[in-house]
Amino acid sequence: MPIIQRPYVPPEDQVPNEGSYVNPGASPSEGAGEGQATSEGSLDPITFYSDSMHIFSSLYSAVLFFGEQMEEREPILRARIKVSPQMLKAIALLTTKHVKEYEDAVGPITLPEQVYTAWELEGGEEGEHGHDAG
């Protein structure tokens, strides 16, 4: 079975509407005790699995879309996170550091050539994209 890697792409690659942002877990609740949802949303962190992502960026912000690939279907959007360009760069630096530390400890992470093609990156030859050759 071939590996299918399609990055999540928002419909027509449009900028998300600010009005569509919702605090996960937000629901009207009578009590506002510890651990309960309030009108502002849940106090509990949200955990989800993602194996698909897309980044939309503009001059003043970036939006990270995280999705879950479902067999032969388009990915399902699981989270949308809006950050500044400075935060986007900080995320890139920190994730690169963690990938390098992982590869130094465990070994190289290889990705299918389809991933590089889908994201229009230069080839996935060893020595590029986060780990040393040799």
Flag whether 111 is in a domain: yes
Higher per-residue pLDDT: 9 or 91: 91
Q: pLDDT digits over 33-76, tens only? A: 445 555 556 677 888 888 888 899 999 999 999 988 887 787 78
User: What is the side-by-side order of every strand in the sheet holding 62-70?
Assistant: 52-57, 62-70, 73-83
Residues 76 and 102 in one domain: no
* Strand ranges inside 15-132, DSSP E: 52-57, 62-70, 73-83
Are 96 and 130 in contact by the 8 Å Cβ rule? The answer is yes
Flag whether 44 is in a domain: no
Flag whether 16 is in a domain: no
Flag whether 36 is in a domain: no
| Domain hosting residue 63, numbered range | 49-83
Q: How many domains does the chain have?
A: 2
Distance CA 22, CA 45 (A): 14
**pTM of the prediction?**
0.60
Flag whether 58 is in a domain: yes
Q: pLDDT digits over 13-33, tens only? A: 555 555 555 555 555 444 444
Higher per-residue pLDDT: 70 or 102: 102
- In whole angstroms, how far apart are CA 123 and each of 10, 16, 25, 104, 119? 25, 30, 41, 21, 11
Residues 92 and 105 in one domain: yes
Residues 89 and 103 in one domain: yes
Residues 102 and 115 in one domain: yes
Flag whether 14 is in a domain: no
